[in-house]
Amino acid sequence: MAVLSFRTSSYARDVYLYGNRKIADTPTEYHEPVKEYAANTFNQSQVDDALTKTYISQTEYDETMAYKQV
């Protein structure tokens, strides 16, 4: 299935900002695009906050941060 940008951004907001969805709840093909979108769109404090609020796991946080370094 094709990865659609509007879904990627919606999933990323739902996961990182609102916490009403987990990355595991999104279709598998969106897992990495969501992390990359978050890394390139959200500021550091927003991603840190998602971890603090347990919206994302430590592993997902680390994977997201890896995209920031690219």
For residue range 1-49, what is the model confidence (pLDDT) as tens digits? 799 999 999 999 999 999 999 999 999 999 999 999 999 999 999 999 9
Distance CA 30, CA 23 (A): 8
Q: pLDDT tens digits, residue range 38-64?
A: 999 999 999 999 999 999 999 999 999
Angle at 68 between CA 30 and CA 20, to 5 degrees: 45
Indicate the pTM of the whole model: 0.93
Distance from C-alpha of 5 to C-alpha of 25, rounded to nearest angstrom = 17
Task: List Cβ neighbours of 59 (8 Å cut-off, separation of 6 or more).
Answer: none
Q: Are 4 and 30 in contact (CB under 8 A)?
A: no
Scanning the structure block, which residue is given the tokens 């979108």? Answer: 37
Q: Has residue 70 got a pLDDT over 90?
A: no
| pLDDT number for residue 18 | 98
